[in-house]
Chains A and B, each alone.
Chain A
Amino acid sequence: MFTRRSALAAALTAGLPGLATAQSGQVVVGTWGGDYGDLLAANIDKPILGPRGLEVVQDVGPQDPRKTKLIAERQARRGSMDVCCLSDVDMFTMAQQGVFEPVEEGRVPNLARAIPSLKRPYSAPHIYSAKVILYNPAKVPTPPQAYADLWDPKYRGRVGLVDILHLQNMEAASLVAGGTEHDYEPGKKKLMELRSLDVKVYPSNEALAAALKSEEVWLTIMWLARGFMWKKAGIPVEHAVPAEGATSICFEMAVPKNARNRDGAMAYLNAALDARAQTAFADRMGYAPTVTDAQLPPELARQISLTPEQQAKLRTPDYEYIARNQVALIDFWNKEFKR
């Protein structure tokens, strides 16, 4: 998506920092497309950064190739992204590789108003949600109380999981087994139990949504935000916050060390934390704001936020545990559970 002129400008900006003004030029944002990308453009790129002379170019694609690109460009002097959007687990894994600039309040002032538990030294939290149980109220008249309810034999063949959330599913199973987010080992046995209860595994969120809609499956483990969107789309689901405690999911933004326009990228992170920009994501995508001063309409807040009690039990994934074990975990998931 580079024009020759913009590439030249980027090169000049990068090569001659003294000549470039701090917050101008081009910022390349590696992000998801669809609603997320559209909302970024409508609420951050155009209204906030446009007037300051920052031109935002979206490098749209799925998360996995973006991660791969970060690793592949790790050694390069100049990377192709200024801002990289990733979910929390992947962001931690990448940060471990030392590919990101530190993110501090000095350069991103809006971080001062971010929810403290979501702050990381290497990224800015953008939006967040919690892992909950989604169920079909017509087929499951008593709302489930805990993840453990998915193991009830009366729901044999009616529990669906999505393949791409293998880590999240393993964590939930571990909590059912009395374990913690710091060790998924106990969950393995539980998952094998679920397997013998004919759990269905779907390749994508869309496939799971179709199965929920056709009432092929009645229960699943999913992000609250996605449940909210599915409900809006007419899929018969309600959410229940598990007694074991919900786990947070946060979508974060970071600045690669080899970004061409680091100052512009930091300005982008700051704009993403702007209260006005944050509420739009809540309404359209069901993700809660990560800054304390963003006000949601009460009805919307009820549907996508946790109660203070639930909030108190909110778990943060053990990123370090995951990063250390993810190769072994995916092996278990593929070779034992799914086979």
Chain B
Amino acid sequence: MAALLLPATLLVLGLLVAPMAMLFRISLNEYSAAQMMQEALTAENYLRAIADPYYRDVLGTTLGVALACTLLALLLGFPAAYWLARMQSRWKSLAVILTLFPLLVGNVVRAAGWMALLGRDGAINAALRSLGLITEPLALLYTTGAVIAGILAVVAPYMILTLAAVIEGIPRQVEEAAANLGAGPLTGFRRVVLPLALPGVAAGCVLVFILCMNAYATPVLLGGPQFKMMAPAVYDQFVRGTNWPFGAALAFILLVVTLTLTIIGSTVLGRHSRSR
């Protein structure tokens, strides 16, 4: 068994840990305009990133967008997941494929679709104008709302399928038993379905939160140049500013914040589901 596990372990180490270790090492280097990077062991990059209100803002925006998207994905995804899980018709597999459909298109292509929808001459503004509801086009693109909608469209399938898998494991008879004992649909949901679906809620939220924290193409294309989230900021440092050490430090800050919140979130949800 150990002999079988060894190659896989080495592969994971090589593919996952080694690049991270290298990135961490880079984050301790010093930037130099002439040589791009000078070997050093300094926390300067981290201190600068934390002290800079600009990056605190970027991190704040990232957290806000990620939390909003996670919450919205949960609220919108739960009914869809429930419907999908309880579906018994032969169209069920088709419905699952349709749920996955948004993932078949790349983020950039999908964002282009949103741009066509939200732009000044986009479908929404054109429709509102032809209905005479507005005279001047609304600024829909390059707003926080556009980013949240765009990210939501990417992460919703992950949330729905994660929740649906767990809800499918809740026997329908258990819900019927609650109804039989006098629980209306809302009470039955709150007292029986939701507590039993909590592991799925936790898994879905963690997955979606991580995806949102690391969103790149959607904030760049739908948020516009003034809108900054962490992943595009990291990219800027690496390829536009060519400041690898600082970019690596930002990447690690993003990683640590995401990881910390993920652990806190799943611990709280996990404890909640056990205590019931």
Residue in A closest to B31 when the chains form the complex, CB atoms: A327
Q: How distant is A256 from chain B, measured CB to nearest CB, in Å?
A: 16
Judge whether A163 and B225 touch: CB under 8 Å.
yes
Could you give 12 example pairs across A and B, Cβ below 8 Å?
A: A64-B239, A68-B238, A68-B239, A163-B225, A203-B225, A210-B115, A210-B119, A324-B33, A324-B34, A326-B33, A326-B240, A327-B246
Q: Contacts of A324 on B, CB cut-off 8 Å?
A: 33-34
Could you say which of A96, A207, A339 has the most chain B C-beta atoms within 10 Å of its C-beta?
A207
Residue in B closest to A93 when the chains form the complex, CB atoms: B242
- CB within 8 Å of B: which A63-86 residues: 64-65, 67-68, 71
Judge whether B225 and A323 touch: CB under 8 Å.
no
Among the 9-residue stretches A7-15, A219-227, A294-302, A330-338, the one with 4 or more Cβ atoms under 8 Å from chain B is: A330-338
A324-B33, A327-B243 are known contacts; what are 4 more A-B pairs with Cβ within 8 Å?
Answer: A71-B242, A93-B242, A326-B33, A330-B236
Interface residues of A (CB under 8 A from B): 64-65, 67-68, 71, 93, 96-97, 163, 201-204, 207, 210-211, 214, 216, 323-327, 330-331, 334-335, 338-339
Of the candidates A214, A325, A339, the one whose C-beta lies within 8 Å of that of B33 is: A325
Q: How distant is A164 from chain B, measured CB to nearest CB, in Å?
A: 8
Judge whether A326 and B242 touch: CB under 8 Å.
yes
Residue in A closest to B116 when the chains form the complex, CB atoms: A210
Assuming A201-B224, A201-B225, A327-B31, is B239 touching A339 (CB within 8 A)? no
Residue in A closest to B223 when the chains form the complex, CB atoms: A203
Q: Contacts of A335 on B, CB cut-off 8 Å?
A: 54
Q: How distant is B250 from chain A, measured CB to nearest CB, in Å?
A: 12
Judge whether B225 and A338 touch: CB under 8 Å.
yes
Assuming A97-B36, A326-B242, A327-B242, is B224 touching A203 (CB within 8 A)? yes
Q: How distant is A305 from chain B, measured CB to nearest CB, in Å?
A: 30
Assuming A67-B242, A326-B242, is B33 touching A202 (CB within 8 A)? no
Residue in B closest to A74 when the chains form the complex, CB atoms: B36
Please measure, in the bound complex, the distance between the C-alpha atom of A335 and the C-alpha atom of B56, giving whole angstroms.
12
Assuming A64-B240, A201-B224, A214-B121, is B115 touching A96 (CB within 8 A)? no
> In which size bucket is the chain B interface?
20 to 34
Q: Contacts of B33 on A, CB cut-off 8 Å?
A: 323-327
Q: Contacts of A204 on B, CB cut-off 8 Å?
A: 221
Judge whether A330 and B240 touch: CB under 8 Å.
yes
Judge whether B36 and A203 touch: CB under 8 Å.
no
Q: Contacts of B228 on A, CB cut-off 8 Å?
A: 334
Q: Contacts of A331 on B, CB cut-off 8 Å?
A: 241
Q: Contacts of B36 on A, CB cut-off 8 Å?
A: 71, 97
Q: How distant is B1 from chain A, measured CB to nearest CB, in Å?
A: 34
Could you say which of B34, B235, B241, B246 has the most chain A C-beta atoms within 10 Å of its C-beta?
B241
Q: Contacts of A96 on B, CB cut-off 8 Å?
A: 34
Residue in A closest to B125 when the chains form the complex, CB atoms: A214
In the A-B complex, the 3 residue pairs with the smallest Cβ-Cβ separation, listed nearest first, are: A64-B239, A163-B225, A201-B225
Q: Contacts of B31 on A, CB cut-off 8 Å?
A: 327
Interface residues of B (CB under 8 A from A): 31, 33-36, 54, 115, 119-121, 220-221, 224-226, 228, 235-236, 238-244, 246
Judge whether A334 and B54 touch: CB under 8 Å.
yes
Q: Contacts of B115 on A, CB cut-off 8 Å?
A: 207, 210
Q: Contacts of B238 on A, CB cut-off 8 Å?
A: 68
Q: Contacts of B241 on A, CB cut-off 8 Å?
A: 326-327, 330-331
Of the candidates B35, B54, B221, the one whose C-beta lies within 8 Å of that of A97 is: B35
Q: How distant is B114 from chain A, measured CB to nearest CB, in Å?
A: 12
Judge whether A202 and B225 touch: CB under 8 Å.
yes
Q: Contacts of B34 on A, CB cut-off 8 Å?
A: 96, 324
Residue in B closest to A97 when the chains form the complex, CB atoms: B36
Please measure, in the bound complex, the distance between the C-alpha atom of A216 and the C-alpha atom of B137, giving whole angstroms.
10
Please measure, in the bound complex, the distance between the C-alpha atom of A210 and the C-alpha atom of B239, giving whole angstroms.
26
Q: How distant is A15 from chain B, measured CB to nearest CB, in Å?
A: 26
Please measure, in the bound complex, the distance between the C-alpha atom of A326 and the C-alpha atom of B236, giving whole angstroms.
11
Please measure, in the bound complex, the distance between the C-alpha atom of A325 and the C-alpha atom of B220, giving whole angstroms.
24
Please measure, in the bound complex, the distance between the C-alpha atom of A335 and the C-alpha atom of B242, giving whole angstroms.
17
Q: Contacts of B220 on A, CB cut-off 8 Å?
A: 203
Q: Contacts of A327 on B, CB cut-off 8 Å?
A: 31, 33, 241-243, 246
Q: Contacts of A71 on B, CB cut-off 8 Å?
A: 36, 242, 244
Residue in B closest to A68 when the chains form the complex, CB atoms: B239
Please measure, in the bound complex, the distance between the C-alpha atom of A67 and the C-alpha atom of B35, giving whole angstroms.
14
Please measure, in the bound complex, the distance between the C-alpha atom of A203 and the C-alpha atom of B240, giving whole angstroms.
14
Please measure, in the bound complex, the distance between the C-alpha atom of A110 and the C-alpha atom of B241, giving whole angstroms.
34
Q: Contacts of B246 on A, CB cut-off 8 Å?
A: 327
Q: How distant is B21 from chain A, measured CB to nearest CB, in Å?
A: 15
Q: How distant is A10 from chain B, measured CB to nearest CB, in Å?
A: 25
Judge whether A339 and B226 touch: CB under 8 Å.
yes
Q: Contacts of B226 on A, CB cut-off 8 Å?
A: 201, 338-339
Please measure, in the bound complex, the distance between the C-alpha atom of A339 and the C-alpha atom of B236, giving whole angstroms.
15
Q: How distant is B111 from chain A, measured CB to nearest CB, in Å?
A: 10
Residue in B closest to A166 when the chains form the complex, CB atoms: B240
Please measure, in the bound complex, the distance between the C-alpha atom of A227 and the C-alpha atom of B36, giving whole angstroms.
34
Q: How distant is A34 from chain B, measured CB to nearest CB, in Å?
A: 14
Please measure, in the bound complex, the distance between the C-alpha atom of A240 and the C-alpha atom of B36, giving whole angstroms.
37
